[in-house]
Amino acid sequence: MMNLTNARIVLPGGVTTGTLHVDGGRLAAPSADSGLGETVDLGGRHVVPGFVDMHVHGGAGASYQTGRPEEAEKAARFHLGHGTTTTVASLVTGTPDELANAVASLADLAADGLIAGVHLEGPYLARDRCGAHDPGLLRHPDRAEFAHLARLGRGHLRMITLAPELPGALGLVRDAASAGVIAAVGHTDAPGETARTAFDAGATVATHLFNAMRPLHHREGGPVAAALNDPRVTAELINDGVHVEAAVARLALAAAPGRVALITDAMAAAGMGDGDYRLGVMDVQVRDGRATLAGGTSIAGSTITMADAFRRAVAVLGLPIEAAAVAASLVPARALGLDSRVGSLEPGKDADLVVLNDDMSVHRVMKAGHWV
């Protein structure tokens, strides 16, 4: 049992000053026994829910793509140290064997609780919007391949991003929904009507809104308008100052309050500085913190942490701290179906939390009641 006193507790509705009680790895309501445990004075610091990153490829020089447990653990531990207490490991487009091996390996780590599941970003993506994915490995939706990958995931395949305009895509969206896998619209050149049809078929996420998709136009809103106008859809947003201009990010947040999820889309270079890296089979160069395909201009993921995305939401976008916490924790938790356990500081939920300094930098991180 632990009592975190003198805390500025960030809740979805605002900030309150008080004490957080932790018992058995969960947040607890005050009781007659509350004073029996260890007391930690937080010195008036803000406490926010542990961040939930539903789209991240790696960090600290390690990539989830390899499927190697030691790399996955290195990446997950790095992001945990920066406040991400719930991680969904994302895979870029690969060969059938590569994806099968990675999904099977990462499913074991999800079963052990290291990650919260696996996200397939591809391989069923639009060639003209493939971004940092190898166009030579893209293919049309294959329902048999998806079913095989879902079996290998053993319930831990959490999401798949696909372009809904491709042949067979809507059937795969329905298959995903039936299998309990989130279908996400992304890397797409679909017009708005097609995107809306995909959402009606069961897709519930827009993958990194604005990026690698047909742009918003006043005579054809495309997938951006379709996602922002649909109350069933969660819109991912990479808030690194590179992928989306601050003014545009504010528009998205205003258009879809409570439905924008901050993500990192971080690759192995996160936490490593400038240099040369790999994303799947693609060579990536990082210069001044910006990751692009080697020799080109296509952005290849980000180098940020969720702590960076959260801090930018407050300091640059001007969000109240409680709204930033909702975007970094509760919205993605809801999208993933995990909000009964994580995403907000409520009694009965996991004791996953981040203690922040006055400048919104991370002071301490707790996962399941243990400081990390």
CB 239 within 8 A of CB 266: no
Distance in angstroms (rounded) separating the CA atoms of residues 247 and 111? 40
Distance in angstroms (rounded) separating the CA atoms of residues 123 and 107? 19
Q: Write the pLDDT tens digit of every residue in 209-256.
A: 999 999 999 999 999 999 999 999 999 999 999 999 999 999 999 999
Could you give the C-alpha distances from 295 to 104, 215, 272, 283, 324, in angstroms and in order? Answer: 33, 24, 20, 9, 35
Triad 178, 111, 269: Cα angle to 5°: 95
* 98 among annotated binding-site residues: no
Q: At residue 193, does pLDDT exceed 90?
A: yes
Distance in angstroms (rounded) separating the CA atoms of residues 325 and 12? 7
Distance in angstroms (rounded) separating the CA atoms of residues 101 and 138? 18
What percentage of the chain has pLDDT greater than the value 70?
A: 99
* 239 among annotated binding-site residues: no
What was the pLDDT predicted at 71? Answer: 96
* 132 among annotated binding-site residues: yes
What was the pLDDT predicted at 30? Answer: 87
* 119 among annotated binding-site residues: no
In this structure, what DSSP letter does residue 77 have? H
* 187 among annotated binding-site residues: yes
* 212 among annotated binding-site residues: yes
Q: Exactly one of 265, 308, 350, 352 is catalytic; which is it?
A: 265
Q: Write the pLDDT tens digit of every residue in 259-313.
A: 999 999 999 999 998 888 888 878 888 998 888 888 777 888 899 999 999 999 9
Distance in angstroms (rounded) separating the CA atoms of residues 71 and 60? 9
Distance in angstroms (rounded) separating the CA atoms of residues 359 and 357? 5
What was the pLDDT predicted at 282? Answer: 83
354/34: higher pLDDT: 354
State yes or no: is 265 an active-site residue: yes
Triad 210, 236, 243: Cα angle to 5°: 45
Least confident interval from 50-54, 130-134, 178-182, 218-222:
130-134
* 299 among annotated binding-site residues: yes
* Domains of the chain and any CATH numbers: 2-47+348-371 (2.30.40.10), 49-336 (3.20.20.140)
Distance in angstroms (rounded) separating the CA atoms of residues 52 and 80? 10
